[in-house]
Structure 1
Amino acid sequence: MASVHPRKNKREEITSWQVKWRLGGGRGGDVQTERFDDETSATVFKKAVDEAGQQWPPGWVKGKGYVAPDAADEERFRFRVFAAKVIDTKTGIEGNSRKRQHRNLERWINPVFGECDIRSAEHISKDTVRQWVIGLEKTLVHWGSTPRSGVAKNLRPMSPYTIRTLHGLLSNILNEAVTAEPPLRERNPCKSTRLPRLDTDGSGADSDDSEAMEFLLPQEVAGVISSMKRRSDQLLTTVAYGTGMRWGEITALAPMALLGRNTSNPRIRVRRAWKKAEDAGFYLGTPKSRRSRRTLRVSAAVVAALVEQGVDRLPRDGLLWTGDRGQHLAYSTFSGRWHKAVRAAKEKGLLPVEKHPTPHDLRHSHAALLISHGHSLTYVQRRLGHESIQTTSDTYGHLLPEADDNAMATIEAALPGERPRLRSVG
């Protein structure tokens, strides 16, 4: 086993630390040593020697550290090279997620850290990571669908959710450096970064949550639906709001997904969803997680929308919603028509001008409606297909006015000294 020893000067002051071991670990092995300025670095190196079987850790050059003798080997410690390899060798993620991480790396992380040495505590430190996050908070990004002119006009500050996603990617890369064999870094500075809150108290463009969620009231959803020109769009919106399903799940629906149509317990079985392939194409696969594969109880209005859309006349596995040529219905295609309906609803006074909902906000509004009327987070979690209830809890809280009204009634009853009435739940 390697050992760490302090080295002292004539005044008995510790000036450095030395790691000592015998090559190969045997008594006859040649004594090897390496010097460090601090005990922590020496201890990290000692562990690396032990893990290497009492050999010099792979890639270590005596007196220089993890620096290879030639430029080609040195290149592998450049952040952009190391980070790309981390993403390429990740397991348990789909091709499109890998592609998205590479895109985020190239656009948002490499411009700052790309040429840094992954091993350097000076290049990549608490201060440099914090300055990078501050820069992201000041960055204006395009909001909504890309204009045909290609010129971004609707610019808003980057959302807290996006910043957290980018920070998480950087942290994951640095964790790989910390846990490398042997370790390339002693610690991950991302762990001490204070990130922007998801709820910004309405002080910025991204109030409430991740992508500036908008919670629509039932009458506001009805206003958007009435402003749509295509009946199929109206029916899709009805199903989206009535089920809280994800876009990829709704557009993958087929007649066979509707169960118990003529019973008192009609249901939708969510067993497939559109997935984006690494080559940017789409294919039908399983939903994003185990809990996403679920069966939902649905209302009569949802059943009626599915029947009108073609449950009775289409093949059992035929798509209920498609593009104009029968292909996968792209989110961007529907989104363009959605935003036209939103503008029209505002002009008619059916939707507040300060609201800027996206089709995905129908899912948020579905959850909001359930929670505001007393349904538990656990029920909402299972209905939405969230893998963790923490996701549900972090995302939805105050929501619709009815929730505040009920809370105020409870508080008002308690303030004069009265005991609030308890609602029977059994």
Structure 2
Amino acid sequence: MASIVERPKADGTITFQVKWREGGGRTDPGQTERFGDRPSAEQFKKLVDAHGQHWPPGWVRGEGFVEQPATPGDMPFEQWATRYVSRLTGIDDRTRDDYYRDVRLHLSLLQHTEPSGRVVPATICNLVADDIQDWVRLQEDGLPDPEKPEKWERRPADPKSIRNRHGLLYCVVQAAVEAEPQLRTKNCCKSTRLPRVDDHTDEEMTFLEHDEYARIRLEIKDPAARDLADWLVGTGMRWGEATALMVKDISLTGATPTANVQRAWKRAKKGSTKSFYLGPPKTRRARRLVALSPDQADMVRRLVAGQPPEAFVFRAARGGEWRHGNYYNRKWVPAVKAAIEKGLPKRPRIHDLRHTHVSWLIAARIPLPAIQIRVGHESISTTVDRYGHLVRGLDDEITAAVQAAMRGGVPHQGLHAVRDAG
């Protein structure tokens, strides 16, 4: 608790000094405030004690309570973030719903810690870099259940989720920087230290060798389901792209047959009559022509024969489009389980067929920019970040190039002569 100490002055008067440790801990920094009379000191001491050994909110040292003018346009952070999401353009309804959920469940945990140590609700104007770092730490550490320590009130988030939420948070704060009139002069998220996405030991991606995929393929008994698996691993298309292909998207004429990726399945907004709808691909570069091998062209020729232009190339048993849940539970999982029982050492997801496709291309020494175009990555950095570690097939060429560069074109025998002359 705070205490009051009398301090005699040279002129014979006495001042009353209120002393306490900020936060109340033994090692916490000491704080003081002086008063000319004991009643004022007693009143201030009660305020410090009432606020948990922190400076009373609004109190300025040496001046007393000073009303801090509110920033015009300031508002609770969650309110600002929700308004920001509602004004976004160029996103589908499902993405907007996901952003609303992130604001409600995760960004709403933000708080502001004042210099006095007092924690107050976050607003769009009072957030500082330390508040963002505290929020990241909370996401990373999670929150154990106080009544059941072995359980979680909030589970720790994986590094990728934290980065995604921080990305949304950055954009929300940046909107306040760019607002008219300006609400903030800088973005407090700019220098946040985020957890590395490779800090965990579990691999996010599974790459299949050719014989490993063959094991799974052998266990897919439905020919239509097998065709789709072959297509996914053979083209690298996303599930939503491959299953949205229509007859009119296939070109089997010319020197190189192609499949034109122009649409993909999207999750519909909650409460809609349908769970999925057809929309544009994931990114601008996801619209692309995918060259087909002769075997793939033969497969497609068989599948589209006699079908109208708007028919789906890959169709389930009753002729309709494939649904991910149905395919995953009834075709993919049983096949993988059967392959594992027979010795398959991996447990791939359907999306790992896309990763596998890229790994096969890298093993065949296809340049990364060409792979970027084929799989529809928006940026080459995405291709490099995800798959660059697989580019080991060029190690011999790289070391030979380094050797030649270090020698500067001097013949090997000449190096000895130069060294001896030195």
| TM-score after normalising by structure 2 | 0.68
The answer as to whether partners of 1:249 and 1:272 remain within 8 angstroms in 2 is yes
Shift of 1:296: 1.2
- Alignment check: 8 A CA contact 2:128 2:188 kept: yes
Equivalence map 1:303-382=2 (5 Å): 303-308=297-302, 310-323=303-316, 326-336=319-329, 337-349=331-343, 351-352=344-345, 355-382=346-373
Alignment CA distance shift 1:325-1:128 (3 Å): farther
Greater C-alpha Rg? 2
Q: Distance in 1 between matches of 2:405 and 2:164?
A: 47
Cα distance in 1, alignment partners of residues 332 and 140 from structure 2: 29
Deviation at 1:339, TM superposition (A): 2.5
Computed over aligned residues only, the root mean square deviation of the Cα atoms, in angstroms, reads 3.3
- The answer as to 2:260 corresponding to 1:269 is yes
The residue that corresponds to 1:185 in the other structure is 184
Q: Any conservation in 1 of the 2:251–2:258 contact (CA below 8 Å)? A: yes
The 5 A counterparts of 1:9-408 are: 64-66=69-71, 77-113=75-111, 116-121=121-126, 124-139=127-142, 158-200=157-199, 203-205=200-202, 207=203, 212-260=204-252, 264-279=255-270, 280=272, 281=274, 282-308=276-302, 310-323=303-316, 326-336=319-329, 337-349=331-343, 351-352=344-345, 355-399=346-390, 403-404=391-392, 406-407=394-395
The question of whether the paired residues in 1 share the 8 Å contact of 2:340 and 2:347 is answered with no
Deviation at 1:233, TM superposition (A): 1.6
On the 8 A contact 1:238/1:305 being kept in 2, the answer is no
Shift, 1:238, TM fit: 0.4
For 1:205-237, what per-residue CA distance to the aligned partner results, in whole angstroms no more than 9, with x for missing partners? 3x4xxxx11122222222221122322221111
Q: Which deviations, in whole Å up to 9, do the C-alpha atoms of 1:65-109 show, x marking residues without a partner?
A: 2268xxxxxxx7111111100000012222221111112222222
| In 2, Cα distance between equivalents of 1:243 and 1:139 | 40
Identity over aligned pairs, percent: 36
Secondary structure of 1:269's aligned partner: strand
The amino acid of 2:165's aligned partner reads: L
CA distance in 2, matches of 1:63, 1:416: 68
Ranges in structure 1 where 5+ consecutive residues have no aligned partner: 1-36, 38-61, 69-75, 141-155, 420-426
Does the C-alpha gap of structure 1 residues 367 and 67 become closer, same or farther in structure 2, counting only changes over 3 Å? same
Unmatched 5+ stretches in structure 2: 1-59, 61-66, 113-119, 144-154, 408-422
Equivalent pairs, count: 322
CA pair 284-408 structure 1, distance change in 2 beyond 3 A: same
Aligned 8 A contact 1:177 1:184 in 2: yes
Shift of 1:332: 2.2
C-alpha separation between the residues in 2 aligned to 1:272 and 1:278?
Answer: 18
Letter in 2 for 1:374: R
Residue identity matched to 1:239: W
Greater alpha carbon shift after TM alignment, 311-320 vs 269-278: 269-278
Q: What is the distance in 2 between the residues matched to 1:338 and 1:138?
A: 35
Measured in 1, the distance between the counterparts of 2:232 and 2:308 equals: 22
- Change in 2 beyond 3 A, CA 1:180/1:317: same
Task: Could you list the structure 1 runs, at least 4 aligned residues long, displaced by more than 6 angstroms after superposition.
Answer: 412-419
Structure 1 stretch 382-391 or stretch 242-251: which is displaced more?
382-391
Cα displacement string for residues 376-408 of structure 1 (whole angstroms, at most 9, x for unaligned residues): 111111111122222222221122xxx435525
Instruction: Give distance in 2, aligned partners of 1:139 and 1:408.
Output: 45
- Tell me the distance in 2 between the aligned counterparts of 1:360 and 1:196: 25
Write the distance in 2 (CA, Å) between the matches of 1:416 and 1:174: 51
Native 8 Å contact 2:177 2:186 kept in 1: yes
Contact 2:177 2:183 in 1 (8 A): yes
Distance 1:164 1:100 in 2: 15
Give 1:245 deviation, angstroms: 0.8
Task: Give the superposition deviation at 1:295.
Answer: 1.1
